[in-house]
Structure 1
């Protein structure tokens, strides 16, 4: 019954795509017991098109497209799923392409909702000559299940909305490195592009949309994630509660977010809800990659009790789209973009915690990257949207002087001799008794990589 559907997928013409960076993903020749690759991330961030990129790379190496079977389980024509849907689809593929039994590449898109998918994938990987690539929108369904079910023969890769470098390439702006030296014209181009990046964000499909259409699309993304990746999967709360809670959290990106306050606000609006349910909902939204909790680094090694967290949206443009007009300031969006870039650079290494940092005499440094288990800190980062920090002795406001002083205190406490301040346009080196503070324009820091 699936043959006509499979035939349609086999005749599919790969669409144009913008190459994604940061993935050292080399697919092996089909065989038994191959490593299973899973690509996880928020909906609409480009996972499907990255599959097309992998398929195109295989075609360039001489692999026939018949030996590549791509199927999206978002296809409503196979819903509701039967218990045997995966086996039936593969049998239909083998019937249409008998030579595929000798070795083929299987690309299964949004597989996490299909019954018994882990059992099926494990069996096929052990008994057939295949190379398998999976995508999914929930870290709970993939990155926690795969290591257990696939017995150590799997690798998970996190995908995010476009990085600033990818955003520039998408817009046709060259980003080739030249020892970090840029002309005045190039600097101006990157500054304008970065302002646009903070406004539009990195979801690929919204890049060329007019403002109103872009905002509506991004608002739709948020609602879709709440509905499909939270409520349908976990049933933590009603849509009314979950949607309101998620939008409030997204508008709070870069700020402290108190779950207890949200409980009080909902109850005052006549909505019955418990704090336990909202804490669970916050976890589910994080599993869906819509937003992320950030704790203080000094508390991360402890069994941190439930309290307020700083929260960050998966994308600055998404937060702006769900916020009331003029509600979300540029500083919040800049800090959000920096956090997601840190997740992109260090998130694959679970030993690295990305947290805020506070201690005696140091109210807060925006980000510290470090190994919590070993109590080792590697980077300290402050984010300041201010365009002119001045000199250390003549900072333009008490606020920015306090940020520098907090960074110096954190450097002293962590014994790090280097700190970073990410600004919109300012660039300089500040020598301090604790070492050196690099003030870097955001566009340049994003292009520098690690």
Structure 2
């Protein structure tokens, strides 16, 4: 929001025409039914010319009572542009169109992408003639591994490891307590906290809720199955983690036990996991998923799912049109593949490693099943191209894919 105000000032918008107010300021509490109207009237008295056009920038707007009615009235009757921000679960993007009757555009704010991470840390990402020089490539490779450890939350970027871990653990607990329990009141804090930690530690893996129910009951923690399934939905609404089902089931009701889970940030998952519990592959796959959400999530017709079939145990991600069930992108993720750097290989090459054959074999089967002639295998830093009977598979270093 401050960046938006900076841009408006740069293009000549008078400072007095920008009215910014944060509703989590304790000096305005307790709210009355007329607080919002009184606040705007006071602004217009101070800046009468704002009646001819201004920007209203309200932060944590969900704290004010009857805010949707107020915003609708002002938007209809005043010459204003209104910008609202709020907690992800208390100001759900799915609720906004209903509350504001189609008069709004919503945007999800994600942790830093890898490109933004590089900008934050002054790491050059410039290409020369479409290619990265060796002096540019090496720092990017190192930065990407660090990105998988630190994650993308801005406030922790320059913290030491211990402070960063504590801060991120606090984020996770705060989301569970404030954004889930206070809004939804689904279950007890003990159950919600333990369940959320188990889910985030399983990022990039299948997460059978039934097994969690048995484990919690085995520890004498009373819990019901329906409440845990509801809790998973609440975590997703709060942007703590996300469920990913199989694309072949995407336009039908998914069996509740058939999904993988992904944390909103690889650094957050690492912070809540026991030492040596969360491997690099899980964090890499998590980062790829969040990048796909960043690229495709705003378009509600897009489905980001996994893919499996009788001849294909699993391809990590397929992006497609949910309404028509048509896939248009296949992505596999592997830390190491065994392919020689910048090589061009044939799937029949006997020198290829078993790991590489497995990853390529799954992608090839999925390409053959879907009719797609191209697949992508994202590795940590390996690069190359493989010709298969179903088409071409590009092996792309993760840092390069994230900068595309």
Scaled to the shorter chain, the TM-score interval is over 0.9
Segments of 5+ residues of structure 1 without an aligned counterpart are 1-50
1:397-416 alignment, distance < 5 Å = 397-416=353-372
Cα offset for 1:87? 1.9
2: CA distance between counterparts of 1:81 and 1:225?
24
Contact kept in structure 1, 2:23 and 2:58, CA below 8 Å: yes
Q: Does residue 164 of structure 2 align to residue 235 of structure 1?
A: no
CA deviations 1:336-363 (Å, max 9, x no partner) are: 0000000000001111100000011101
Match of 1:289 in 2: 239
Match of 2:3 in 1: 53
Contact kept in structure 2, 1:395 and 1:401, CA below 8 Å: no
Match of 2:279 in 1: 329
Match of 2:398 in 1: 442
Match of 2:151 in 1: 201
Match of 2:124 in 1: 174
1: CA distance between counterparts of 2:208 and 2:246?
14
CA deviations 1:381-426 (Å, max 9, x no partner) are: 0000016335543466433321110100000000000000000111
2: CA distance between counterparts of 1:263 and 1:113?
34
Contact kept in structure 2, 1:259 and 1:308, CA below 8 Å: no
Segments of 5+ residues of structure 2 without an aligned counterpart are none
Match of 1:254 in 2: 204
Of 163, 167, 170, which residue of structure 2 is paired with 1:213?
163
Match of 2:332 in 1: 382
Match of 1:433 in 2: 389
Contact kept in structure 1, 2:304 and 2:319, CA below 8 Å: yes
2: CA distance between counterparts of 1:72 and 1:395?
62
Name which of structure 1's ranges 346-355 and 96-105 shifts more when overlaid on structure 2.
96-105
Contact kept in structure 2, 1:112 and 1:142, CA below 8 Å: no
Q: Does residue 114 of structure 2 align to residue 187 of structure 1?
A: no
Cα offset for 1:86? 1.9
Normalising by structure 1, report the TM-score.
0.85
1: CA distance between counterparts of 2:174 and 2:32?
23
Of 355, 362, 377, which residue of structure 1 is paired with 2:305?
355
Cα offset for 1:212? 0.8
Of 269, 279, 294, which residue of structure 2 is paired with 1:319?
269
Of 247, 253, 256, which residue of structure 2 is paired with 1:306?
256
Q: SS state of the match for residue 62, structure 2?
A: coil
CA deviations 1:44-69 (Å, max 9, x no partner) are: xxxxxxx0111001101111222111
1: CA distance between counterparts of 2:393 and 2:212?
38
Match of 1:222 in 2: 172
Match of 1:366 in 2: 316
CA deviations 1:201-259 (Å, max 9, x no partner) are: 00011101111111111111111111111111111112111111111111110000111
| RMSD of aligned Cα (Å) | 1.6
Name which of structure 1's ranges 353-362 and 86-95 shifts more when overlaid on structure 2.
86-95
Cα offset for 1:179? 5.0
Match of 2:224 in 1: 274
Match of 1:111 in 2: 61
1:135-146 alignment, distance < 5 Å = 135-138=85-88, 141-146=91-96
Q: SS state of the match for residue 333, structure 1?
A: helix
Of 34, 52, 61, which residue of structure 2 is paired with 1:102?
52
Of 101, 104, 116, which residue of structure 2 is paired with 1:154?
104
Q: SS state of the match for residue 142, structure 1?
A: coil
- Larger relative contact order (Cα-Cα within 8 Å, sequence gap ≥ 6): 1
Contact kept in structure 1, 2:383 and 2:395, CA below 8 Å: yes
Compared CA separation, residues 197 and 118, structure 1 to 2 (3 A): same
Contact kept in structure 2, 1:137 and 1:289, CA below 8 Å: no
